[in-house]
Amino acid sequence: MATLRFLLNGERVEEHEAPPTMTVLDYLRGVRRLTGTKEGCAEGDCGACTIALARPGRGGLRYEAVNSCLMLLAQLDGTAVVTVEGLAAKDGALHPVQQALVDTDGTQCGFCTPGFAMAMFAFQQGGEAAGDAAIHEALAGNLCRCTGYRPIIEACRRIAGRNAPPAGDAAAVEAGLGKLALDNEYSRDGQRFFAPRNIDVLIKLLGYFPEATLLGGGTDLGLLASKERRRFPAVISLAGIDELHEIRIGPDSIRLGGAVTYTKALPHLDKYFPAFGALVRRIGSRQIRNLGTFAGNLATASPIGDTLPCLIALDAGVRLRSTKVREMKVEDLITGYRTTALGKGEFIESITIPHLGAGQQFFAYKLSKRFDQDISAAIAAFRIEIKDGAVGSLRAAYGGMAATAKRAASVEAALTGKPWTPETLADIDAVLACDFAPIDDQRASGQYRLRVAANLVRRLQLESSGGAPPRLEAL
């Protein structure tokens, strides 16, 4: 495509000069001079760069908070964007979110305020009630360096659940979105960005450009653009392919399309695998979850990718597409440190997670220095079946313990068929050391990782047996 077309604070924008892999943050500040959106960390941690984004064809005009520092400019094609400058009415009247921040003295030094305002705007548009848990989750992706969260939380409580009007003229924005022409290619400065609309076109593009970078949500790829200032000769976005956004619930499994975001999958995880849903909420803030995808987390094959141990423990499978179709287990897809069995021209079409069988339970634990949106020191996931007081079956998988996320085969063998009692776990530390020899790094020492990994098996025994150990996240 020769031009990117999107709505910015209600006004139609046609961009044909900026490179496609410029970050949205750089574009807003440097090109559009909308400097209310701030750069704090440039890696999706602080929330100062938060904007609100609405996409067509997703159930009406629903704005979601996203990190502009992690988005590539071409991802805005066909969307409606609101920055803090777009909240107030044209006559200068403050939006209710802005007024609440003024009334509660929640602005303080002001640097983080635009990001908080946009996170609160998206929260209000969702119509959620003013519960402490919902407010905490809505604001978890925003940091206040003044440490003055009390008035910000009070401002959020005041606007929660109110039917306030969206920024600008909602009807005009929806009408404008309907008129945007979504094309398939945008090229500038030796960079090409492709946005196919169906799987057949995607397969053809991968045939022509086998070395192209696939873009799901961009929460990993965006870091390379924002922190390393890397240029990408060719990027192929999956966002416009409706088939890859599908979630199918069958009698035996749940299938997530290759572009399904964490946010879209969460209600289903909460229903079928509550522990998985709780862990996903700690992977990142709402800004991250609104963009990030399960397939993207899987394809990066990071040893500390939080979803990988869960998918492995649940015996999940993947469907790979190119000109052919391949299916394999997630644990077989991961071949080494940040490497997978994906061949050139292949992409993850879907991830299938079997439902829990009768008597099976699933548990997932994440250990990190900070509760919210922190990189894990270790992750553990267990699918266990207990029969007559003994372990009938067990799948145990860990992340952060080796070069890849993988199963603890010795632990599984040592516990299966044994009485499910604390006494059975007397030597679990030594058994676990047969499976893993973790390294020391900035997040934890190898010795610490082994100790807590063993203790998580003990915690599993308590919880799966009906006990109620202290929830560390509640302390």
- Per-residue tens of pLDDT for the chain, all 475 residues: 578 999 999 999 999 999 999 999 999 999 999 999 999 999 999 999 999 999 876 556 789 999 999 999 999 998 999 999 999 998 999 999 999 999 999 998 999 999 999 999 999 988 888 889 999 999 999 999 888 899 999 999 999 877 666 666 666 676 667 666 666 789 988 899 999 999 999 999 999 999 999 999 988 888 888 888 888 899 999 999 999 999 999 999 999 999 999 999 999 999 999 999 999 999 889 999 999 999 999 999 999 999 999 999 999 999 999 999 999 999 999 999 999 999 999 999 999 999 999 999 999 999 998 888 888 999 999 999 999 999 999 999 999 999 999 999 999 999 999 999 999 999 999 999 999 999 999 899 999 999 999 999 999 999 999 876 656 554 3
Rounded (5°) CA angle 453-299-253: 75
Which residue, among 7, 190, 173, 188, has the nearest Cα to 81 in the 3D structure? 7
Domain ranges of the chain: 4-86+168-237, 96-159, 244-474
Same fold, 4-86+168-237 and 244-474: no
CATH class of 244-474: alpha beta
Alpha-carbon distances of 283 from 256, 271, 276, 375, 401, rounded to whole Å: 18, 18, 11, 8, 18
In this structure, the number of other CB atoms found within 10 A of the CB of residue 248 comes to 11
d(C-alpha 51, C-alpha 37), whole Å:
8
Structure tokens at 274: 């509550």
d(C-alpha 386, C-alpha 391), whole Å:
5
HSE at residue 457, side-chain half, CA atoms within 13 A, is: 30
Residue 46: which residues within 8 A CB-CB, separation 6 or more? 40, 112, 115, 142, 143
Residue in the block written with tokens 């879907």: 350
Q: Which long-range contacts (CB under 8 A, 24 or more apart) does 242-250 make?
A: 242/57, 242/197, 242/198, 243/198, 243/199, 244/199, 244/349, 244/350
pLDDT for 370: 86
Structure tokens at 210: 């086998």
CATH 3.10.20.30 fits 4-86+168-237, yes or no: yes
Angle, helices 113-125/96-103, rounded to nearest 10 degrees = 130
d(C-alpha 328, C-alpha 291), whole Å:
26
Tell how far CA 258 is from the center of its chain.
13
Alpha-carbon distances of 189 from 4, 72, 193, 234, rounded to whole Å: 15, 15, 11, 11
Burial of 38 from C-beta contacts in 10 A (0-12 / 13-18 / 19+): buried
d(C-alpha 346, C-alpha 203), whole Å:
8
Which residue, among 349, 378, 362, 351, has the nearest Cα to 436 in the 3D structure? 378
Do residues 20 and 195 lie in contact, with contact meaning Cβ atoms separated by under 8 Å? Answer: no
For 106-219, where are the E strands, in sequence order?
A: 185-188, 191-194, 213-215
pTM > 0.85: yes or no? yes
Structure tokens at 309: 């141990």
Alpha-carbon distances of 138 from 21, 127, 135, 261, 275, rounded to whole Å: 28, 12, 5, 17, 20
Computed over every residue of the chain, the mean pLDDT equals 91
Instruction: Give the amino acid at 30.
Output: G
Out of 1.10.150.120, 1.10.8.420, 2.70.160.11, 1.10.3720.10, the CATH code matching 96-159 is 1.10.150.120
Beta bridge partners of 398: 380, 406
Residue 221: which residues within 8 A CB-CB, separation 6 or more? 72, 213, 215, 232, 235
d(C-alpha 63, C-alpha 84), whole Å:
13
pLDDT for 181: 60
